[in-house]
Amino acid sequence: MKILNGIAGAPGVVFGDVLYFNKKIGCSKKMSIDEAVEKSLEKVRKMYDKALSDLGEDKAKIFSAYEMLLEDEMFIGPIKEMIEAGSAPEDAVTEVSESMSAILLKKENEYLRQRADDIRNVGNMIKETLCGADSDFVFPEGNDKYIIAAQELTPVDTMLFDHSRLLGFATKEGGATSHTVILAKSIGIPAVVGVPDLDGTVDLKRAYLDGYSGKFVVEPDEETKKIYDKKVIEEQEFIKSLETIKQNDAYTKDGERIKVAINIGKPSDLNGIENQKFDGVGLFRSEFLYSSSKEKPSVNQQYEAYKKVLDSVYPESVTIRTLDVGGDKQIEYFNVPKEENPFLGNRGIRLCLSNESIFMEQLKALLMAGADKKLKIMLPMVTRIEEITRTRELMEKAKKELELEGVAVSEDMELGIMIETPASAIMSEVFAKYCDFFSIGTNDLVQYIMSADRGNSAVENIYNPYNPAVLRMLNKVINDGAKAGIEVSVCGDLAANADFTEILLGMGLKKFSVPLPMINRIKKKISDINLSSAQELVKEVLSAEDENEVIKIIRKG
C-alpha cells in the first residue's frame, strides 16, 4: 500500500483503477509554424464549443483567451522572427512563451500570475502540434470509469476526456485554484493536486482518491479498504440525495430545524448559489477591503461591498465581522509596530478601538448598508465587556452623525461577538447580557485554549479540537447563550467537520456556518442525526479524559 498526500482540490471519495496520463512528445512529423498555429486555432475553437455546451460559458472562456493568444501578433510575431533567424521552431516557441510568461509572473496580481500558465499552455499546444504529438490518450474499451493521474493536466488535456468515464483526478503539480480543480468541481468529481510523490508507477493500480483529505491511497490493504469503502458508500448516498438536500432547509432526523449559513470572504464568493438553499451569511470577513489596496478603503467602497451581500441574501441575515487583523499583517495606515507575539497583541477589536477614526468609518459603512436589511455586526477577539460597550457607544455616535446628514441607517441591526478567546468563553454567561448573538470561532479558540500554534508542526498534535478542554468550553458557551435566549452559531472549521456535527447538535447548537462547498455535506449529516442520541453522545464525550478517548467514542458511533 502506498498513501500519497496532496492538496484537497475538489471534494468526493472514489475507488477505482488508475490510468496514468502520459504525454509523449516525440518529433516525428514536422509542420510549419503557420500550419501549427492554424491547427491549434482550430483545436481551441472546437474546445470552446465543446466546453460551452458541456460546461457553460464561464468554463469556456479560457479557450477564447487561448484563441486570442494564438491570434496575437505580439506572441506569434516574435516566434516567427526567431525561426527566420535560424532557431528550431519548437525552441522558438519555448523561448517566447517562457519570456512572456516570466513578465506576468512578476506581477503582484494573482490573476495575472495565473495567466502566465495560459501562455505556457498555448506554447505547449503549438509545440505538440508542431511535433505531431497530439496526445494519443484513449480510454480502454468498455464503460469503466477511471481515476486519471498525471504530472499536470492542462485545460487542453482535460478536454480529451470523456467525462462519463472519469472518476477523479490526481496530479503531481497544481494548487487549489488550478484548472484541474476547477474542471473537477464543475463536473462533480474529486481531485487531489500537488502530490509530490506521484509518478507513472500508479498506472493500472487500484486506488482510493479522497478529495476531502487530499489523500491518494494506491493498492490499499484490507484494513484501509474497510475504512474507505464506508466513505465511498456515504459519498454515493450523499450524491444521490444531493439535489433534494440542496433545495431544502436542514432538519434533524427527529424534525428539529437547524440553520446552516455560509462563510464568505468577498462579495463574489456568493457566485453560484442560485439553486442552493442556505440560511444567510454567518460570517462575512471584511479583511479583503483592507488587504487588497495600499490606501484604506473609503466609507463608500465598504458600503458598496456590504450592500451587495446584504441585498443578494435578503430576507436572510448577514453577519459581518469587523476588521480582524493584527501585527502579523502589516497594514500601512494602521500604526502597528512589529510585535513580538502578534497573536497576543494589538489585534481584532483591540486594534480597531485604538484606531477609532478608521473603526468609525467601518461602522458608518455598515450602518448605511444595513438600512432595511438584516445586518448583524460581529466583533472579533473580544476579551472584555468594555470592548462591547465602547463599540456600542461609537455605533450610537456614528448613527447620530449619519442621521444629521440625512442618511438612512439600519434601525434593527444586531451586535454580537465572536467567541474565540478563553476569556470570552469562560465569561459567556455575563457577556450574553451585552450581546445579541455569539458566534464561536473555533480555529482561534482551539489555538488559545490549547496554547498551541496550529501552523507549528512541532505542536500540531496539541492543537487538537477533539481535546475535552475544547469540548467543555464549546458546551458551556452554547448553553450560556441558550439560557440567555441569544443566538449561538459556530463559524470555524469545526462547523464544517462532519465528525463534530452530532456533538454540536447534542450540545444544543442551532446554527452552523460553513464554507459554501461544505454546506450540503453538513446539511446531509444533520438530517441523519437524532437529537436524543446526540445528547447521549455529548454526555459521553464530556466525561472523556483526553482526545484519544473522544475520538474513540466518536468513531464507534
Partner 1 sequence: MVRVKYTIKNEEGLHARPASDFCKTASKFKSTIRVIKDGEEFEAKSILMVLCIGAVKGDEIEITAEGEDEQQAIDALVETLDRE
Tell me how long the chain is: 557
Question: Smallest distance from the beta carbon of 160 to partner 1, in angstroms?
Answer: 25
What the block records as the C-alpha cell of 476 is 458551556
What the block records as the C-alpha cell of 34 is 503557420
Question: Smallest distance from the beta carbon of 294 to partner 1, in angstroms?
Answer: 10
Question: Smallest distance from the beta carbon of 299 to partner 1, in angstroms?
Answer: 16
Q: Judged by CB under 8 A, does residue 533 bind partner 1?
A: no
Query: Which residues in 314-344 are b (16+ Cβ under 10 Å) and which e?
Result: eebbbbbbbbbbbbeeebeebebeeeeeeee
Among 14, 82, 119, 352, binds partner 1 (CB under 8 A): 119
The residue annotated as part of the active site, out of 131, 179, 352, 435, is: 179
Taking Cα atoms as reference points, which of 311, 352, 310, 316 lies closest to residue 331? Answer: 352
Task: Return the SS3 of 91.
Answer: helix
Question: Smallest distance from the beta carbon of 105 to partner 1, in angstroms?
Answer: 11
Given a contact cutoff of 8 angstroms between Cβ atoms, the answer to whether 1 and 218 are in contact is: yes
Among 109, 248, 354, 548, binds partner 1 (CB under 8 A): 109
Q: Judged by CB under 8 A, does residue 100 bind partner 1?
A: yes
Q: Tell me the number of residues near partner 1 by CB under 8 A.
A: 20
What CA–CA distance (Å, rounded) separates 471 from 507? 9
What binding mask, one character per residue, do residues 279-298 give for partner 1 by CB under 8 A, x or -? --------------x-----
* 435 flagged as catalytic: no
If the CB atoms of residues 139 and 288 are measured against partner 1, the closer one turns out to be 288
What the block records as the C-alpha cell of 22 is 502520459
If the CB atoms of residues 302 and 442 are measured against partner 1, the closer one turns out to be 302
DSSP letter for 154, please. -
Q: Judged by CB under 8 A, does residue 344 bind partner 1?
A: no
Query: Could you tell me where the DSSP H helices lie in 461-518?
Result: 468-484, 498-507
If the CB atoms of residues 1 and 103 are measured against partner 1, the closer one turns out to be 103
What CA–CA distance (Å, rounded) separates 131 from 134? 8
Residues 46-85 that bind partner 1 (CB under 8 A): 61, 64-65, 68-69, 72-75
Question: Smallest distance from the beta carbon of 238 to partner 1, in angstroms?
Answer: 33
491, with CB counted inside 10 A (0-12, 13-18, 19+), is buried
Among 86, 111, 455, 461, binds partner 1 (CB under 8 A): 111
Given a contact cutoff of 8 angstroms between Cβ atoms, the answer to whether 264 and 301 are in contact is: no
* 491 flagged as catalytic: yes
If the CB atoms of residues 294 and 556 are measured against partner 1, the closer one turns out to be 294
**Site stretch for partner 1 (CB under 8 A), options 112-120, 130-138, 178-186, 354-362:** 112-120
Q: Judged by CB under 8 A, does residue 182 bind partner 1?
A: no
Question: Smallest distance from the beta carbon of 293 to partner 1, in angstroms?
Answer: 7
Given a contact cutoff of 8 angstroms between Cβ atoms, the answer to whether 378 and 352 are in contact is: no
What CA–CA distance (Å, rounded) separates 158 from 11? 18
Among 112, 204, 227, 233, binds partner 1 (CB under 8 A): 112
Given a contact cutoff of 8 angstroms between Cβ atoms, the answer to whether 137 and 153 are in contact is: no
Q: What is the identity of the amino acid at 84?
A: E
Q: Judged by CB under 8 A, does residue 408 bind partner 1?
A: no
**Site stretch for partner 1 (CB under 8 A), options 4-12, 109-117, 148-156, 186-194:** 109-117
If the CB atoms of residues 297 and 506 are measured against partner 1, the closer one turns out to be 297
What the block records as the C-alpha cell of 19 is 490510468
Angle at 92 between CA 87 and CA 96, to 5 degrees: 145
Residues 500-519 that bind partner 1 (CB under 8 A): none
If the CB atoms of residues 115 and 329 are measured against partner 1, the closer one turns out to be 115
Q: Judged by CB under 8 A, does residue 102 bind partner 1?
A: no
Given a contact cutoff of 8 angstroms between Cβ atoms, the answer to whether 5 and 195 are in contact is: yes
What CA–CA distance (Å, rounded) separates 374 from 227? 44
Question: Smallest distance from the beta carbon of 70 to partner 1, in angstroms?
Answer: 10
Question: Smallest distance from the beta carbon of 113 to partner 1, in angstroms?
Answer: 10
The residue annotated as part of the active site, out of 131, 352, 435, 491, is: 491
Given a contact cutoff of 8 angstroms between Cβ atoms, the answer to whether 508 and 277 are in contact is: no
What the block records as the C-alpha cell of 14 is 472514489
The catalytic site residues sit at 179, 491
Task: Return residues touching partner 1 (CB under 8 A).
Answer: 61, 64-65, 68-69, 72-75, 100, 103-104, 107-109, 111-112, 115, 119, 293
